[in-house]
Amino acid sequence: MTITYLITGGTTPDGVQTDIAIDSDGVIAELGQNLRAEESVVIDATNKIVLPGLVDLHTHLREPGNNDAETVESGTRAAAKGGFTAVHAMANSNPVADTAGVVEQVFSLGKQAGWTDVHPVGAVTVGLAGERLAELSAMHDSAANVTMFSDDGICVWDPVLMRRALEYVKSFDGFIAQHAQEPRLTEGAQMNESALSSELGLTGWPAVAEESIIARDVLLAQHVDSRVHICHVSTAGSVELIRWAKSQGINVTAEVTPHHLLLTEDYVKTYDPVYKVNPPLRKDSDVLALRRGLADGTIDTVGTDHAPHTEETKQCEWVVAAMGMTGLETALPVIQHTMVDTGLIGWHDVARVMSANPSRIYRHTDQGQLTDTGGLVQGAVANIAVYDPSHKFVVNPTEHDSKSANSPYKNMELSGQVTDVFYRGHQVVADARVTTPFQHSR
C-alpha cells in the first residue's frame, strides 16, 4: 500500500490539528502528527478545516430531459467544487425517475462522470402524478439501490397514497422524502403569503400549506411506524411541528436549504425571478427559527435543493418564471455565514449536518464517517473536503461549474472556499479548481 496524498496541518471538525494520509486504495490510511510519506502529493491545509466530504440529499441534476440547464456531469462537477462527495438526484427528470431503467441510467451517468457519488432518488408515484405507486422495490433492487423516494417538486398529497408509500418502503428500510405543500392552498402560488405578497399582487404560498402536510405526515409515520424525511423546511411553524414529533419519538428527519437560512421574502420586491423558489423565501422570523432548529438538532441536515434553470426560464415575468436556485457551489460559504460566523454552531456541527447526518439518514457506509468527537475515521473511504474559511469573495455565478447561473447570491460577499476535495481518494479539486474525475472500475 502506498500513500498517495498527504494533507498536512489542517484542523478536523473535532478541533484537532492533524495530518491525514490517503492511500492508493482510496482510504484514510493514517491520522496523526508529523506524518511522512515519500513520493506522495502534499497538500498544505494549515489554517484550513478538513471536513468529511459533504453529502447533499437534495440535488436536481436535470438529466435526462433538461441537459441545457444541467447534466449529471456538470452538476456533479459543481458539487465537487462545492465540497460534496455524494449527491442525491431528485426524480423530476424527463422521463421521471420512476423505473429501474431511469434510476440505473442516472446512477451510471454518475459513475461515468466520476466527480461524486450519485444516488438517484426514485419517484414515489408514477410520473410524479400522485395517483399510484411507482415500482419502488424494483428501483431498490436495481444497480442504483435506491432507498430514498420523493415526488419532490410535487407533494404526495393523497393521504392514503402517502400512508401506503411509508408502509411499502419498510421492507427494505427505505424512506419517503416529502415535499410538503398542500396543493389546494397553493394554487398559482408565487411567493410567501404575507403583507408583502398582498402589496406586490403575487399569489401567496401560506405557511399553513407546508405545516399542515408535515403535521399529517409525522402522524402517518408514527401510525405506520415508518420513516419520513421532510424536504426543505421553510417556516418557523414547521420547525415547531418537527420538534414536537421528535419529542414523541416519531421517526422523522428534516432538511433546510442554505437559501432559507439566509434570504427573506424582501428580495421578491425586485420581481427578479432569481429569487423565485419553492418553497418560497419566508420572513426574518422564519429564517431565525430555521437557524435555531438546525443548531439544536431539530433539523438534521442541509440540503441544497440545487435547482439549475436556463436563462430563458428566469429572464421573464415573475409569474411564469421557473422556481429554483443553484446552490451546490455556495452551500458551505452560506452555512459558514449564517451558522458558524453567527456563533450558532461549530465545525463539528457543520460536519454533522452536511455530511454525517445525511449519510446516516440514507444509511451510507462510505460517506460521512466521523468519530464521536468529530474526527475523521482511519480506514474510512477518503471522501474529504479542505476548506479555507478566511477566503473572502464576491459570488459570480458565471464562474460556477454548474451550467446554469441562477444563483441568488450573485454579487454578495461571502467567506470561505473549498480548496481541495478528495473523492474516493482521488483529488478532484485542487486549488479551488476541478482537476480530473475519479475512474470507477468497470
Partner 1 sequence: MRHLLATRNLSYDNAMAILDTAQEMATVSARSIKKLPTLRGQTVVNLFFEDSTRTRTSFEAAAKRLSADVLNFAVKTSSVSKGESLKDTVQTLEAIGGDAIVMRHWASGAAQQLANFGWSSSAVINAGDGTHEHPTQALLDAFTLRHRLHGLQASGKDLNGLHVVIVGDILHSRVARSNVWLLHTLGAKVTLSGPPTLMPVGVTTWPVEINYDLDALLTQQPDAIMMLRVQAERMSGDFFPSAAEYTRGWGLTNDRYKTIEGAGTLIMHPGPMNRGLEISAAAADSAQNTALEQVANGVSVRMAVLYLLLAGQPGQ
Q: Contact, 364 vs 65, CB < 8 A? A: no
One-letter amino acid for residue 196 of the chain? L
Q: Which stretch binds partner 1 (CB under 8 A): 200-208, 228-236, 330-338, 427-435?
A: 200-208
Nearer to partner 1, 41 or 316 (CB): 316
Comparing C-alpha atoms, which of 231, 191, 208, 411 is closest to residue 321?
A: 191
Handedness of CA 8, 10, 12, 17 (dihedral sign): positive
2, 94, 270, 365: which one binds partner 1 (CB under 8 A)? 270
69, 166, 202, 277: which one binds partner 1 (CB under 8 A)? 202
Q: Which stretch binds partner 1 (CB under 8 A): 97-105, 240-248, 269-277, 385-393?
A: 269-277
Asked if 143 interacts with partner 1 (CB under 8 A), we say no
Q: How far is the CB of 207 from partner 1 (least distance, A)?
A: 11
d(CA 291, CA 220) in angstroms, rounded, equals: 26
Selected catalytic residue, list 217, 286, 300, 305: 305
What burial class does residue 43 get, using C-beta atoms within 10 Å of its C-beta: 0-12 exposed, 13-18 middle, 19+ buried? buried
d(CA 262, CA 41) in angstroms, rounded, equals: 38
Is 305 one of the annotated active-site residues of the chain? yes
Comparing C-alpha atoms, which of 356, 209, 220 is closest to residue 282?
A: 209
H/E segment holding residue 88 = strand 84-89
39, 199, 372, 431: which one binds partner 1 (CB under 8 A)? 199
167, 272, 341, 366: which one binds partner 1 (CB under 8 A)? 272
Helix axes 207-224, 159-168, angle to 10 degrees: 40
8, 11, 105, 194: which one binds partner 1 (CB under 8 A)? 194
Nearer to partner 1, 59 or 192 (CB): 192
206, 244, 251, 430: which one binds partner 1 (CB under 8 A)? 206
Asked if 1 interacts with partner 1 (CB under 8 A), we say no
Nearer to partner 1, 184 or 433 (CB): 184
Asked if 267 interacts with partner 1 (CB under 8 A), we say no
Asked if 129 interacts with partner 1 (CB under 8 A), we say no
Nearer to partner 1, 270 or 373 (CB): 270
92, 142, 197, 330: which one binds partner 1 (CB under 8 A)? 197
The reply to whether omega before 95 is within 30° of 0 (cis) is yes
**Spatial CB neighbours of 141, under 8 Å, sequence gap ≥ 6:** 100
DSSP 374: S
126, 196, 224, 412: which one binds partner 1 (CB under 8 A)? 196
Nearer to partner 1, 23 or 182 (CB): 182
Residues 291 to 350: which contact partner 1 by CB under 8 A?
312, 315-320
Q: How far is the CB of 199 from partner 1 (least distance, A)?
A: 7
One-letter amino acid for residue 168 of the chain? Y
Q: Which stretch binds partner 1 (CB under 8 A): 112-120, 212-220, 266-274, 421-429?
A: 266-274
Q: Which stretch binds partner 1 (CB under 8 A): 7-15, 54-62, 199-207, 375-383?
A: 199-207
> Strand 413-423 to strand 384-394: parallel, antiparallel, or no bridges (unpaired)?
antiparallel
d(CA 390, CA 370) in angstroms, rounded, equals: 24
14, 64, 167, 271: which one binds partner 1 (CB under 8 A)? 271
Nearer to partner 1, 296 or 311 (CB): 311
Nearer to partner 1, 33 or 315 (CB): 315
38, 201, 390, 442: which one binds partner 1 (CB under 8 A)? 201
CA distances from 71 to 114, 222, 405 (A): 13, 38, 14
Task: Put the strands of the sheet holding 117-120 in their side by side order.
Answer: 54-59, 84-89, 117-120
Q: How far is the CB of 264 from partner 1 (least distance, A)?
A: 15
Handedness of CA 392, 393, 395, 400 (dihedral sign): negative
CA distances from 164 to 49, 100, 226, 228, 299 (A): 44, 20, 10, 12, 25
Residues 163 to 192: which contact partner 1 by CB under 8 A?
190
Nearer to partner 1, 195 or 394 (CB): 195
Q: How far is the CB of 405 from partner 1 (least distance, A)?
A: 15
DSSP 339: I
Q: How far is the CB of 184 from partner 1 (least distance, A)?
A: 10
Q: Contact, 294 vs 253, CB < 8 A? A: no
Nearer to partner 1, 71 or 197 (CB): 197
d(CA 337, CA 62) in angstroms, rounded, equals: 28
d(CA 192, CA 101) in angstroms, rounded, equals: 37
Which residues of this chain interact with partner 1, rule CB under 8 A?
Answer: 190, 193-202, 204, 206, 270-272, 312, 315-320
**Active site amino acids:** 305
